Amino acid sequence: MTRALVALGSNLGAREAHLQAALAGLRALPGTRLLAVSRTHATAPVGCPPGSGPFLNAAALLDTRLGPHALLAALQALEAAAGRERPRPNAPRTLDLDLLLHGDAVLDEPGLQLPHPRLHLRAFVLEPAAEVAPALVHPRLGRTLLELRDALRAAGDAGAACAR
């Protein structure tokens, strides 16, 4: 089993229902166990198109037998099931699931970068991630999620950017 960390977000439609459906979908993934879920964080959109609503964000910690590509495909299928559309970059979304970490994997491929390249730069990701896995170490930076969250807090970042 590999420990994986997933960010959940929604700023369109029944946001809480979209997050709950995503968690049910994560629980149902083959060879996967949902270990922990953060509380839901409400965040204001930053740099989003006009009319974008506020985000609800959370994080989920998993143990999975799925490899990173298979897990990413499963996350994208859950997004599609929630009605996720991609009409333009940074468009509001019913559901956004980002694979943040997959064990200590370091990948830089088209369509999949691990760890997520902006994980350490976004409070809306680090706040819930540090709740569920404070001691998890970022494979590139060698710092725990709690350390990264505290550094970002000290820098004063708080918003949820649309460019996910």
> What residues are annotated to the active site?
84, 93, 96, 98
The pairing of beta strand 41-43 with beta strand 45-46: unpaired
State how far the Cα of 31 lies from the Cα of 74, in Å rounded to an integer: 12
State how far the Cα of 93 lies from the Cα of 57, in Å rounded to an integer: 12
Query: Which segments of 34-103 does DSSP mark as H helices, in order?
Result: 68-81
45 prior amide bond cis, ω within 30: no
State how far the Cα of 86 lies from the Cα of 89, in Å rounded to an integer: 7
